[in-house]
Structure 1
Amino acid sequence: MIKEAVEEAKASGEVVDEEELKADPIIEEAKQEKENSKKKKSKKQDKKDEKIEELTDKLTRQMAEFENFRKRTDKEKSKMYEIGAKDIVEKILPVIDNFERGLEAVTEEEKSEPFVQGMEMIYKQLITSLEEVGVKPIDALGQEFNPDFHNAVMHVEDESLGENVVAEELQKGYMYKDTVVRFSMVKVAN
């Protein structure tokens, strides 16, 4: 731009010093505009880079959020399955109790009858099926009283047993995997 101005001045016959042109405010303004346009181009490039970086960050965060959501729903599904299984086990336990009461009432002479043998087979099959899915009885008789597994409903003084020992199991307790489905109803000594 300066060279153009110098050549224009020479053509018109005016003697112009290049230093004067450099100090001219109009020429300085033109230089500033040229530099600003270069900066704007680089700023546009920077704005694009900033936008790309912002969108990349947003995408990364959303992917992490989705992954957390997926894991959380998987945990909730497994918990719901366990809760459902626990509810079914709770409904089956009275049937097991009735089987046990019925089999305890059978006399020695009746144990050889086909009907009683069939009932014992059904009871054993039911217990085996429950054990396969993770249901097991809680040991109580002769164990130290533990409120996490036992529900004490009676207290008895018995010198032959130690302190806080389960003297009698009134109702059998059961666990499903690591959760207590039903507490053992027990009589505690001393």
Structure 2
Amino acid sequence: MAEQKDINMEEAVKEDSINKEDTINCEEVVNNEAPADEDLLQEDTLQEEIESEEIEGEEESSKGFFKKKTDKKQDALKQKVEELEDRVKRQMAEFDNFRKRTDKEKAVMFETGAKSIIEKILPVVDNFERGLATVPEEEKGSGFAEGMQMIYKQLMTELESLGVTPIEAIGQEFNPDYHNAVMQVESEEYGTGIIAQELLKGYMYRDTVVRHSMVAVVS
């Protein structure tokens, strides 16, 4: 009977020892498994953070790409606008120069045409003056002579209104820009280099000499 109790006690101690070992093993398993799960969670979290950062990086890279592309388009458009503005300014300057050059050419052509017509009219004026100079004194009061004188005055008035004026000669110092000396004479009235006679009257059109005066200069 006593032996039976001892066996039962031994079995109870063994069972209790086994239970304690099982408990310890379970705790170790739990303790060993917990860190593994935490590591997995940390790895998953880290992976998610990495993926999130990669996505954000891709988004930022995409935004940067589109921004650069937009900036390039804006720069290209700005450059194109500047080129067009420069072209318009150049064309306007060229047109302004063309207009000024055309106006100048028209003025020169008008001046040339006017001088050409005046040169053809001057011999008519010369003949009028010669005709009036030959009228006898007794006939200067006649209707014919007065009519010729009125026509001559009207012609000279019209020429003067156009800018045609006679060049002063007699009593003036010889000037090759206005006078053409064809002979030399002696004179008690004028000194050397002074014009004593006018053989053919000269005329100016505005500031240009149309015909030089043919004169005799005192030697």
**SS in structure 1 opposite 2:137?**
coil
Which residue number corresponds to residue 140 of structure 1?
169
Question: Superposition pairs for residues 3-152 of structure 1, below 5 Å?
Answer: 16=47, 35-152=64-181
- Cα drift, residue 15 of structure 1: 5.2
Larger Rg: 2
2: CA distance between counterparts of 1:79 and 1:159? 45
RMSD: 2.6
Structure 2 gaps of 5+ residues are 1-40
- Cα drift, residue 18 of structure 1: 5.1
**Cα deviation per residue 1:47-71 (whole Å; 9 max; x = unaligned)?**
1011011101111121122122112
Residues paired across the two proteins, number: 177
2: CA distance between counterparts of 1:144 and 1:185? 14
1: CA distance between counterparts of 2:144 and 2:186? 41
2: CA distance between counterparts of 1:159 and 1:106? 30
2: CA distance between counterparts of 1:61 and 1:140? 52
2: CA distance between counterparts of 1:92 and 1:131? 13
2: CA distance between counterparts of 1:60 and 1:97? 55
Which residue number corresponds to residue 6 of structure 1?
none
Structure 1 gaps of 5+ residues are 1-9
Is 2:207 the counterpart of 1:178? yes
1: CA distance between counterparts of 2:52 and 2:166? 102
Q: TM-score of the superposition, structure 2-length normalised? A: 0.71
**SS in structure 2 opposite 1:56?**
helix
- Over the matched positions of the two proteins, sequence identity in percent amounts to 60
Query: Greater RCO between the two (CA within 8 Å, min separation 6)?
Result: 1
